[in-house]
Structure 1
C-alpha cells in the first residue's frame, strides 16, 4: 500500500511535499517510505488516506484512461462542481471523499 500510494501521488503530479500534506505526514516520513524504511498500515488514519488516494488515482484513470498528462491537469485545475482544485481539496478528509465521490459518479453509466 505504501508504494502504491506514493506511485499514485506521483502519477497525479503531486510532489512529495503535497503527498505528505494529503497523507497528513511530514516530508521525512515520505522520504523514509520512498526508501522502504517506513510503511503505512491500513488500520491507521494515514493508511486510510493512502487507500483513498489510490482509489482517486484509479477512478481518475478510469475517466481519462492512461493519459498521465490529462490526469495531472485535472488534479491541478479548478473544478466548478467541486468548487476548487482537487489537489487542494485532497488535503482534508472531506475533500478527499468529495473528489473520490465526484470521480466515481463520472464512472457510472449515464441513463442507467
Structure 2
C-alpha cells in the first residue's frame, strides 16, 4: 500500500521536480506534469506500458474515457500498489515528462 506522502517523497527526490496544485489537487512537475493526486487515493502518472499494466492488474491500473486521447496517462489506485512499484512508475513518469536523472 502506498500513500500520498509516499508519492510526495518519491517525486521530490527526483531532480528538478516541483510541487504545486493542478485542478486544486497536489501535482508534481518535471518539465511538464508528471504526477497528480485525484480524489479517493488515485494517482495519475505517465507510462509507456499503460495497456500492459491495465491488462495485468485492472483493479490497480486503469484509465477513464477522459484519458483516452492521452495514451501515456495511467491512473493508479495507491492502496493497491507497493512503494517499490510506485517508485518505478514515478521514475518513468519523470523521464517521460522531460526530467533527467
Report which of the two has the higher share of helix: 1
Report which of the two has the higher share of strand: 2
Higher relative contact order (CA 8 A, sep 6+): 2
TM-score range, shorter chain: 0.3 to 0.5
Q: Which of these two proteins has the greater Rg computed from alpha carbons?
A: 1
Tell me the TM-score normalized by structure 1.
0.31
